[in-house]
Amino acid sequence: MTTTREQNRVDTLRRIVEASRKLVTGTGEMTLRSVATEVGMTAPALYRYVDSHEDLVRVVAMDIDASAAAEIAEVRDSQPGDDPAARMVASAIAFRQWALRNREEFSLVFTNLDVSCIAELNAESRTGLLFSELLFEVWERYRFPVPQIDDLDPDLVEILRDPVVPADLSAVPDELRPLIWLLERAWAGLYGTVTLEVFGHIDPRIVEKALLFRAMLEDQAVPLGLADELPRLRELMTSLLA
């Protein structure tokens, strides 16, 4: 049973996170002092709830990631449960749309984390977990070819046997560990493309028409066994990107 003191602590931490996110999307300045002022407490009092600025970044980043994942999941679930290809495409588009609408929060979570925060987010990201689950669902449905583990670089094999990814891999046999490499490469394509779009490092007309983004999704289709599905997936892209 939650005590009043525990509930008060939870409520105050929620206010701290909300104030931090408000500052991130407003002034872009999220210091301990500015957050404390926004919440109505002193900076030293803030240390009762977070250990440091780095800890504050971690807490806020995890909250933003959870919010993004919930938004993406809603779009994913607009597609049939037995159609993982459509659900993956819908999720990728939802991630892009969230990032373009929330550039400052995207930056905090995906491009500007303190180094020691990155490992935790990589391992626990709800957004990452959503996409890793989708990849395994696509594989279960289409059983596309997976690289032979003995054909991969030995250094990569060592990593794939103990990866830092947001997924439960306890039941994944050794011969399917290359799926994790496909996941990493697919994420690199999605993340890299969206980052270019978010920060305007590409012709804005290409962003406006989602030309690079669509091309990236189509490029992903072949290694994920979805080449034959492209005609209908293109229609879905057009509908969701409209």
- Gap between the Cα atoms of 46 and 16, Å rounded: 9
- The angle that helices 53-76 and 84-101 make with each other, rounded to 10 degrees, is 130
Binned at pLDDT 50, 70 and 90, residue 109 comes out as confident
DSSP 127: H
Predicted confidence at residue 115, as pLDDT, reads 47
Q: What is the mean pLDDT of the chain?
A: 91
Are residues 76 and 123 both part of a single domain?
Answer: yes
Question: What is the pLDDT averaged over residues 23-33?
Answer: 87
Query: Does a structural domain hold residue 55?
Result: no
Are residues 77 and 132 both part of a single domain?
Answer: yes
Residue 11's CATH number: 1.10.10
- Please state which of the ranges 40-54, 100-114, 227-241 shows the lowest mean pLDDT: 100-114
Query: Does a structural domain hold residue 229?
Result: yes
Are residues 23 and 137 both part of a single domain?
Answer: no
What domain range is 8 assigned to? 1-50
Handedness of CA 73, 75, 78, 82 (dihedral sign): negative
Are residues 209 and 159 both part of a single domain?
Answer: yes
Query: Does a structural domain hold residue 234?
Result: yes
What pLDDT, in 10s, does the model give residues 58-67?
Answer: 899 999 999 9
Are residues 24 and 65 both part of a single domain?
Answer: no
Whether the predicted pLDDT of 210 surpasses 50: yes
pTM score, whole prediction: 0.91
Query: Does a structural domain hold residue 190?
Result: yes
Residue 176's CATH number: 1.10.357
Are residues 146 and 234 both part of a single domain?
Answer: yes
- Structurally, the chain folds into a number of domains equal to 2
Are residues 129 and 204 both part of a single domain?
Answer: yes
- Gap between the Cα atoms of 105 and 82, Å rounded: 32
Are residues 88 and 160 both part of a single domain?
Answer: yes
